[in-house]
Chains A and B, each alone.
Chain A
């Protein structure tokens, strides 16, 4: 079975955007796959649109990248003309415009999140088809299928920044555990009045879930540690 290296790059993904008391936390995994092959195991799916607005991308890597580029270009001009930072609403609606008008050709679902001085932290979901929905939190990508129940139970209004970030990291890590198309590291971007903070959580700093084992350098370490003379059974 040959892997198809000419299959389109798709980001089977987990993306999350969460509002908290004072801003937003965006999170994503880092796996980009070409068919069955992992083309990039450390991609950055949280892309900057302006200083205060970022976008989480899922679906076709090419489609979401080019739409982000167009929106960044339009927002840049808009910011110059407006004389002040663009609002999250404008950014999200530009994404919607391009998604809706090209709905037959595009295959991408995104989450736009940011902070502006008028409305504070906001999250907008723009799924396949170009619908736009403002939400207190949003999940997307193939990994999100495993998180609906989790968020129904774990989400609450008015979290602190740390609680929100912990929730996002836990959620992405749970999705990675079960979704073959999600993997790698968990990247987060926190946006609030003070600015933008980017974080990066590797596998060893994430909790272990069901049937996952503590990683080691080698079996030999385990054998040495246990010290028993007949460690392996026949």
Chain B
């Protein structure tokens, strides 16, 4: 299934474009500008756009501390999610113990990529949602389908106000024997599937999952398949780090693993001496 999702790069500073036609949205030119001198004394107008336009509304411009891919899939006993523990700050791998998979209520797991502060805010919203649900004290509890729908509404409404929560979310869960796995993007795109991935995972992990996923994977097989994907992401995604958490949810409950690292393989003979015979090439 085609997902209209962009993998974005995070520029440290955005240049303001004077021509309104080229600006990312049709908001009027901001009033505030701050000029910062370059080290060599030349005056470069590297501006930080104020997000306050003339009519006083605000919008999130770009993410600062970001998480990379999350991958998830259904397996025999429930749903399993995996993500690394990195929080990148532009190209710096700044934080290395960020938990990007959290459990929501009794029946759901939420994994997020994108801006970590927005993910932390979403967790607060969900905390309140679950609290109010528990306060009814009626024996019912919100299942993954309901939580997914709530998140979809939140994300889409924010997008309509040009102030998105800059995240891609993976929501998995089991209720009454029914397994559920869904995704919501920052513009409100949402869908359900047997296996999902965010960010780079869309390009690198999903082809593997499409080829090798089956309905009746055991826990061990599912972990092995996820690790195959995680390894590819580690090799090929610049913002991935070698520290992962795998989380599973079954009818019995939630388990989030301790952080762990994977062994990487560098022993291909082609890696040994690639410049041999063609000095100066790579």
> Number of residues in B with C-beta < 8 Å to the partner?
30
Contact of B64 among A36, A96, A131, A145 (CB under 8 A): A131
Residue of B nearest to A107 (CB): B48
Q: Do A105 and B117 touch across chains, with their CB atoms under 8 A apart?
A: no
Given A7-B37, A131-B65, A104–B60 Cβ distance below 8 Å?
yes
Q: Do B36 and A7 touch across chains, with their CB atoms under 8 A apart?
A: yes
Q: Which residues of A contact B58 (CB under 8 A)?
A: 104-105
> Number of residues in A with C-beta < 8 Å to the partner?
25
Looking at B34, B37, B50, B59, the one whose CB has the most chain A CB atoms below 10 A away is: B37
Q: Do B52 and A104 touch across chains, with their CB atoms under 8 A apart?
A: yes
Residue of A nearest to B59 (CB): A104
Residue of A nearest to B51 (CB): A104
Looking at A7, A100, A104, the one whose CB has the most chain B CB atoms below 10 A away is: A104
Q: Which residues of A contact B63 (CB under 8 A)?
A: 129
- The B33-62 residues at the A interface (CB cut-off 8 A) are 34-37, 39, 41, 43, 48, 50-52, 58-61
A46–B198 alpha-carbon span in the complex (Å): 39
Q: Does B188 contact A (CB under 8 A)?
A: no
Q: Does A132 contact B (CB under 8 A)?
A: yes
SS class of chain B's interface: helix, strand, loop or mixed?
A: loop
A104–B51 alpha-carbon span in the complex (Å): 6
Q: Does A120 contact B (CB under 8 A)?
A: no
Contact of B121 among A8, A10, A100, A145 (CB under 8 A): A100
Looking at A10, A125, A127, A131, the one whose CB has the most chain B CB atoms below 10 A away is: A131
Residue of A nearest to B93 (CB): A148
Q: Do B117 and A130 touch across chains, with their CB atoms under 8 A apart?
A: yes
Q: Do B35 and A135 touch across chains, with their CB atoms under 8 A apart?
A: no
Q: Which residues of A contact B87 (CB under 8 A)?
A: 131, 133
Q: Which residues of B contact A127 (CB under 8 A)?
A: 64-65, 89, 94
Q: Does A128 contact B (CB under 8 A)?
A: yes
- The B96-120 residues at the A interface (CB cut-off 8 A) are 97-98, 115-117, 120
Q: Which residues of B contact A4 (CB under 8 A)?
A: 35, 37, 43
Q: Which residues of B contact A105 (CB under 8 A)?
A: 50-52, 58
Given A105-B51, A131-B120, A180–B34 Cβ distance below 8 Å?
no
Contact of B65 among A10, A129, A148 (CB under 8 A): A129
A125–B43 alpha-carbon span in the complex (Å): 32
Q: Do B35 and A7 touch across chains, with their CB atoms under 8 A apart?
A: yes
A69–B281 alpha-carbon span in the complex (Å): 58
Q: Does B150 contact A (CB under 8 A)?
A: no
A-binding residues in B (CB < 8 A): 34-37, 39, 41, 43, 48, 50-52, 58-61, 63-65, 87, 89, 92, 94-95, 97-98, 115-117, 120-121
Would you list 29 pairs from A and B whose C-beta atoms are within 8 A, ordered by A residue?
A4-B43, A7-B35, A7-B36, A7-B37, A35-B37, A36-B41, A96-B117, A100-B117, A103-B117, A104-B52, A104-B59, A105-B51, A125-B95, A127-B64, A127-B65, A129-B65, A129-B116, A129-B117, A130-B117, A131-B65, A131-B87, A131-B116, A132-B117, A133-B97, A133-B98, A133-B116, A135-B95, A135-B97, A180-B39
B-binding residues in A (CB < 8 A): 1, 4, 7-8, 10, 35-36, 96, 100, 103-105, 107, 125, 127-133, 135, 145, 148, 180
